[in-house]
Amino acid sequence: MFPAFQHRATQRNGFAAKATQSPPFLISNSKLATFTSPVSLASFQTYLHDTSTDTTLTGFYQSLLDAATEYVYNWLDRDYTASASKTDIFFGDDTQFYAPRHQVGALTSWHTIDSSGTDTNVGTSDLMLRANGYLIQAGGTKMFASQYEHRIVYTQPSTLTCPETVKQVITELATTFFAASNQGAGTLGLLTTSSRDTGPGGATDRERFLDLTDRHKEMLRPYKRYPV
């Protein structure tokens, strides 16, 4: 944990309420990242105009990217990590079709568990991928029977990539976390031209995105997963 980072986030003028309510503001060095960030450390440092090689600072940068990635992916209910292993657990509906939570690149296993807790390895030989991996069909006489809990393990496509728009939001959110920290000293922010014209260069206002703003949500909305 970075106490100074959390303290600065909660003390900055006007941002206390959001900072204390937003999960990403609790950054931990020891916490394993849930997702692999699609934004590289080098790209993030370029965005910050930073060339530091100090491992403590770059490790902090990586924790910011990991926190921002987890926050965005959870909001989207999607994971853009290529070849990531996923497990879907569901009760059957006596049909031959199931829509997985994520796109399937390859099936690993299919198990059923009955009411007594007996685990049966059904195998994947009778499963077929449809709709470019967004639908699983049980072939032959097999079906996703309603009296069983089903567990399907699969990996996402090896060619899966994160959209540039999603990566941009992750980068901006991680930059905001850094700006609110002691390391950032509140000096960073997205500089935008102000409506006030006080000179040849114009005035500038600092924007800080301490959560997903309406702008960010609109950018991400085309990629958000909605339950069906």
pLDDT in tens, the chain (228 residues): 333 333 333 333 333 333 333 444 444 444 556 899 999 999 999 999 999 999 999 999 999 999 999 999 999 999 999 999 999 999 999 999 999 999 999 999 999 999 999 999 999 999 999 999 999 999 988 999 999 999 999 999 999 999 999 999 999 999 988 887 756 554 444 433 334 444 455 544 444 444 677 888 888 888 887 766
pLDDT at residue 161, as a whole number: 96
Residue 54 near residue 186 (C-beta atoms within 8 A): no
pLDDT value for 113: 97
| DSSP secondary structure string for all residues of 107-145 | EEEEEEE-TT--EEE--STTEEEEGGGTEEEE-TT--B-
pLDDT of residue 171: 96
Strand order in the sheet with 135-138: 97-98, 135-138, 127-130
Cα separation, 224 vs 166, in Å, equals: 10
Distance CA 19, CA 21 (A): 5
